């Protein structure tokens, strides 16, 4: 039996296959906001939710704002599950764990299953993850901690990795309001950065990239 681990989920975020986290922590959002992304490590909830996008926007630099449009982040990656392979400029990582049954009463053992990915591809995804973490920090600061219903995650925009800031309202099956952010979408658009400059260091290798940031207002309704 294979189980997908943390590093693999970060790599799969590029394809939008990680379940969206809409409670303020890191997640990944699909290119098509009308489709729910499948979860890689949890069963589908019994009350499925449909996602409707009402508006998508980025803050224009011509808009009045008290905050800089660009924020920066630096991360040094130190994880036992990933290893740089200099011979072919790739990253070897634990993609999953395989459970093996010894046949006796002892519990099954877990064996790692390894895969490799080109370093540049890995670094692009890592940059996006670092950028999303940074945007969540920035939004918490700029919104004075009023981040209920507001979260940033990884998505793809025009084929490029990006950060998506979601302003989410939830309704029940009858259309009655269940939850909504305590700040307006207009305020979210106004304070959200436009881009994140990221530098990632790993095993003596350094990559720098600029990750764009978009915002989107979403109405979700339980089915």
15 found inside a domain? no
47 found inside a domain? yes
14 found inside a domain? no
Domain containing residue 56: 20-81+118-222
Helices (H), the chain: 6-12, 119-142, 185-191
pLDDT digit string (tens) for the chain, length 223 residues: 433 344 433 443 333 333 233 333 333 444 434 333 433 343 333 333 333 334 444 444 345 567 999 999 999 999 888 999 999 999 999 999 888 776 667 777 888 899 999 999 999 999 999 999 999 999 999 999 999 999 999 998 888 999 999 999 888 887 888 888 999 999 999 999 999 999 999 999 999 999 999 999 988 887 7
Question: Kindly report the CA angle at 94 between 93 and 99, in degrees rounded to 5?
Answer: 165
198 found inside a domain? yes
Q: How many structural domains comprise the chain?
A: 1
DSSP strand pairing (195-202 vs 70-76): parallel
In DSSP terms, 50 is beta-bridged to 221
99 found inside a domain? no
155 found inside a domain? yes
112 found inside a domain? no
128 found inside a domain? yes
Per DSSP (E only), the strands in the chain are: 2-4, 49-57, 70-76, 82-85, 90-100, 109-118, 150-157, 160-171, 177-179, 195-202, 205-222
Please give the Cα distance from 75 to 221 (Å, whole number): 37
pLDDT attached to residue 12: 37
DSSP state of 87: T
């Amino acid at each position: 039996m294979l189980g997908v681990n943390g590093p693999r989920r970060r790599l799969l975020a590029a394809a939008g296959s990680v379940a969206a986290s809409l409670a303020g922590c890191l997640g990944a959002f699909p290119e098509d906001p009308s489709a729910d992304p499948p979860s890689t490590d949890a069963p589908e909830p019994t009350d499925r939710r449909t996602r409707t996008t009402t508006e998508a926007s980025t803050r224009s630099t011509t808009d009045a704002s008290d905050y800089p449009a660009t924020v920066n982040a630096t991360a040094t990656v130190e994880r036992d599950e990933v290893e740089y392979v200099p011979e072919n400029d790739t990253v070897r990582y634990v993609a999953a764990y395989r459970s093996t049954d010894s046949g006796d009463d002892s519990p099954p053992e877990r064996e790692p299953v390894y895969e490799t990915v080109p370093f540049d591809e890995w670094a692009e995804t890592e940059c996006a993850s670092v950028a999303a973490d940074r945007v969540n920090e920035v939004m918490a600061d700029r919104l004075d901690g009023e981040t209920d219903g507001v979260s940033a995650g990884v998505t793809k925009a025009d084929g490029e990795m990006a950060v998506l800031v979601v302003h989410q309202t939830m309704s029940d099956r009858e259309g009655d309001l269940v939850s909504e952010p305590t700040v307006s979408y207009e305020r979210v658009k106004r304070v959200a950065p436009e881009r994140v400059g990221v530098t990632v260091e790993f095993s003596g290798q350094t990559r720098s990239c600029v990750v764009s940031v978009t915002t989107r207002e979403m109405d979700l309704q339980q089915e």
